[in-house]
């Protein structure tokens, strides 16, 4: 079960930042997911894709106390979402970078622009597209920050990144930087942006998870598009 049909129990610990030794001390987003999945209490449960879990932990910790309660209904949705397809890592990281790019402070826009290009490079390699190919959303995001985009293109041109290094280091770093950047951005409601980012990442993971046996089939992105439209 993906979790979309499940519902959290009526009485649950109040979500709070950080790790907790047991439910009596509170819970973070992923600790509650481990509980609902019937796993050992942990903020790194096996029931959820590692990068999606990392994003959920970061969103949990960077969301305000008032806004964190809005995350609770999303917890069951991450249960059972996993997969080895590198598309999952690349698309979650790309989603985070593109959402953060227009709102983060100027010094961090270069980092997010580099992340967009790195994710697109990995996706182009996976899908057999020409190097330097960008989809429409990435081109639009970079067009809003032309100086950062120009710098990022110069920075990334001589750099090659392995799939292993991308999964282990680049994608998690991108997600962490994006969440922190959104949380600190001068926007009216950063909590809402973080909620929307996690919602869209869940949908993205749902679209791609479980398709490792048939990598030639492009997943149905209806839920992804719906999540983006509501952002």
Which tokens go with 60? 């949990």
In 10 A of CB 131, how many CB atoms?
A: 9
Distances (CA, A) of 160 to 117, 147, 150, 157, 171: 12, 22, 18, 8, 15
Write down the pTM of the prediction. Answer: 0.83
**Residue range 176-182: mean pLDDT, rounded:** 97
Q: What's the CA dihedral at 57, 3, 90, 165 to 10 degrees?
A: 60
Which pLDDT tens digit goes with each residue over 102-138? 999 988 999 999 999 999 999 999 999 988 889 999 9
Residue 216 has pLDDT above 50, yes or no: no
**Residue range 206-222: mean pLDDT, rounded:** 55
Q: How confident is the model at residue 17 (pLDDT cuts 50, 70, 90)?
A: confident
Q: What is the pLDDT of residue 161?
A: 83
Q: What is the pLDDT of residue 219?
A: 40
Residue 11 has pLDDT above 60, yes or no: no
Please state the domain extents for the chain: 86-230
pLDDT greater at residue 2 or residue 193: 193
pLDDT greater at residue 158 or residue 3: 158
Residues 6+ apart with CB under 8 A from 197: 55, 59, 95, 96, 99, 178, 179, 182, 231
Q: What is the pLDDT of residue 26?
A: 75
Residue among 71, 49, 76 at smallest CA distance from 205: 49
Q: What is the pLDDT of residue 13?
A: 64
Residues of the chain with pLDDT > 90, as a percent, come to 70
* pLDDT, averaged across the chain: 85
Answer yes or no: are the C-beta atoms of 83 and 165 closer than 8 Å. Answer: no
Which pLDDT tens digit goes with each residue over 34-86? 999 999 999 999 999 999 999 999 999 999 998 999 999 999 999 999 999 99
Residue 182 has pLDDT above 80, yes or no: yes
Q: What is the pLDDT of residue 8?
A: 46
Round to whole Å and give the CA distance between 148 and 171: 19
Q: Give the residue ranges of DSSP H helices in 63-214.
A: 65-68, 86-100, 106-127, 136-143, 146-156, 163-165, 171-184, 190-208
């Amino acid at each position: 079960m993906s979790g979309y049909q499940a519902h959290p129990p009526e009485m649950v610990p109040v979500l709070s930042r950080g790790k907790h030794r047991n439910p009596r001390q509170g819970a973070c987003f992923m600790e509650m997911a481990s509980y609902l999945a019937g796993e050992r209490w942990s903020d790194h449960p096996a029931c959820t894709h590692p990068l999606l879990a990392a994003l959920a932990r970061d969103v949990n910790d960077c969301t305000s106390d008032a806004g964190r309660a809005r995350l609770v209904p999303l917890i069951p949705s991450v249960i059972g979402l996993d997969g080895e397809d590198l598309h999952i890592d690349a698309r979650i990281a790309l989603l985070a970078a593109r959402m953060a790019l227009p709102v983060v402070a100027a010094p961090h826009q270069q980092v997010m622009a580099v992340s967009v290009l790195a994710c697109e490079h990995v996706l182009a390699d996976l899908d057999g597209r020409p190097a330097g190919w960008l989809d429409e959303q990435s081109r639009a995001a970079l067009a809003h920050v032309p100086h950062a985009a120009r710098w990022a293109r110069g920075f990334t041109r001589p750099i090659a990144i392995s799939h292993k290094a991308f999964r282990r280091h680049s994608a998690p770093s991108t997600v962490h930087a994006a969440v922190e950047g959104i949380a600190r951005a001068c926007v009216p409601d950063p909590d809402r942006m973080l909620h929307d980012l996690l919602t869209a990442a869940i949908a993205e993971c749902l679209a791609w998870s479980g398709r490792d046996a048939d990598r030639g089939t492009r997943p149905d992105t209806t839920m992804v598009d719906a999540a983006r439209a509501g952002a």
